[in-house]
Amino acid sequence: MSGLRRIPWALVLVVAALFVPALGSRFYTFVATDVAILALFAVSLNLLLGYTGLVSFGHAAYFGIGAYATGILMKKAGIPFLLAFPAAGVLAGLFALVFGFFCVRLTKIYFAMLTLAFAQIVWAICFKWNDVTGGEQGMPEIPYPDLAWMERLPLAGQLRTSDHFYLLTVVLVAACLWVLRRIVGSPFGRILTTIRENPERAEFIGVNVRRFELIAFVIAGAFAGLAGGLFGIFNRGVFPDFVYWSKSSEVLIMTILGGIGYFYGPAVGALVLLVLNQQITSYTQYWPFILGTILIVLLFAFPSGIVGALDAAARRLARPRRA
Partner 1 sequence: MPDLAFLFGQSLSGLTAAMFLFLVASGLSLIFGVLGVLNFAHGSFYMLGAYTTYQIVQWLGRDPGSFWWAALGAAVSIAILGGLIERFLFRHLYGADVLYQLLFTYALVLILSDAAKVLWGTGQLSVSRPPGLTGAFKLWGTFIPYYNLFVLLLGPTIALLFWLLLTRTRNGRLIRAAALDREMLGALGVNVDRLYTGVFVVGSFLAGLGGALIAPVKAVVPGMDVEIIVEAFIVVVIGGLGSFWGTMLGALVYGQVLAFGILIFPRFSIFSVFALMAVVLILRPWGLLGRPLKS
Task: Report the interface residues with partner 1, using CB under 8 A.
Answer: 49, 55, 102, 105-110, 112-114, 117-118, 120-121, 124-125, 127-128, 245-246, 249, 252-253, 256, 286, 288-289, 291-293, 295-296, 299-300, 303
Q: Sign of dihedral through CA atoms 30, 32, 36, 39?
A: positive
Report the alpha-carbon distance of residue 224 to residue 105 in Å, rounded. Answer: 22
Beta bridge partners of 155: none
Q: Which is nearer to partner 1, 278 or 304 (CB)?
A: 304
Report the alpha-carbon distance of residue 169 to residue 149 in Å, rounded. Answer: 15
CB of 210 to partner 1, least distance (A): 14
CB of 154 to partner 1, least distance (A): 46
Task: Indicate the helix (H) or strand (E) that contains 312.
Answer: helix 305-318
Q: Which is nearer to partner 1, 123 or 234 (CB)?
A: 123
Q: Which is nearer to partner 1, 18 or 113 (CB)?
A: 113
Nearby residues of 262 by Cβ (< 8 Å), 6 or more positions away: 50, 268, 305, 307, 308, 311
DSSP secondary structure letter of residue 157: T
DSSP secondary structure letter of residue 155: T
Q: Which is nearer to partner 1, 145 or 265 (CB)?
A: 265
CB of 136 to partner 1, least distance (A): 11
Residue 178: how many other CB atoms lie within 10 Å: 13
Q: Which is nearer to partner 1, 85 or 123 (CB)?
A: 123
CB of 234 to partner 1, least distance (A): 25
Q: Which is nearer to partner 1, 108 or 236 (CB)?
A: 108
For the chain, the maximum distance between any two Cα atoms, rounded to a whole number of angstroms, is 73
Report the alpha-carbon distance of residue 86 to residue 259 in Å, rounded. Answer: 29
CB of 288 to partner 1, least distance (A): 4
Residue 198, CA distances (Å) to 57, 75, 190, 251 in order: 22, 46, 12, 26
CB of 193 to partner 1, least distance (A): 16
CB of 105 to partner 1, least distance (A): 8
Going through 111-206 in order, the beta strands assigned E by DSSP cover 139-140
Q: Which is nearer to partner 1, 94 or 125 (CB)?
A: 125
Report the alpha-carbon distance of residue 48 to residue 44 in Å, rounded. Answer: 7
